[in-house]
Copies of this chain bind each other. A is one copy, B any other.
Amino acid sequence: MTTARRDTYTPETLLSVAVQVFNERGYDGTSMEHLSKAAGISKSSIYHHVTGKEELLRRAVSRALDGLFGILDEPGANRGRAIERVEHVTRRTVAVLMDELPYVTLLLRVRGNTRTERWALERRREFDHRVADLLKAAAADGDLRTDVDIRLATRLLFGMVNSLVEWYRPLPGGAGDREQVVDTVVRLAFDGLRTGH
């Protein structure tokens, strides 16, 4: 863990350190002492920026949620056939997940012990419902196979997408397999692995 110098500290870098510590130790297992040590600044300096660790959690999961809900306002999520819109949302969800990896990781690990966590879980469910609605619309258009339950399919789709937080790591150069991951998720989810259809 890097130790930042006090004079270069901003709320943004504090947030980034906090998210790293939350992901390593779990939110419940993180104390202000841990945050202070990881950030290399005193607890009172942290309290200068935020009211406590719950505020840091709220800011961190808000960043992830803003990224995700932002997708639903994009033209690609609102124009064209439902199947194209759901494909756009899937593609962009994978991209946001990779762009905001530590923030989305934290969001997906939230457990519901505090008010902020329960709010985050509620917002996550809301996002899932919005995507499930798109899938339902695609089914009504006749563009989805009729032998799968949409709710179950939504869960499996998110299961696949969200699994990225467990194994995806950006390449050292910053370039790389990003587009490949996005394309593979969309191909697998919508057309499957099997050839010849």
Contacts and interface: CB of A to CB of B under 8 A. Distances in A.
A193 B142 contact: no
Given A159-B166, A163-B163, A194 B145 contact: yes
A195 B149 contact: no
Contact of A180 (B83, B149, B166, B167): B149
Contact of A157 (B135, B147, B193, B197): B193
A71 interface: no
A190 interface: yes
Number of chain copies forming the complex: 2
A195 B152 CA distance: 17
Interface residues of A, number: 43
Interface in A143-166: 143-149, 152-153, 155-164, 166
Contact of A144 (B83, B144, B194, B197): B194
Given A143-B195, A163-B163, A197-B197, A188 B158 contact: no
Interface class of chain A by DSSP: helix
A193 B160 contact: no
A157 B183 CA distance: 14
Contacts of A155: 163, 167
A27 to B, nearest CB: 12
Interface string A166-197: 11000000000100110111011111111111
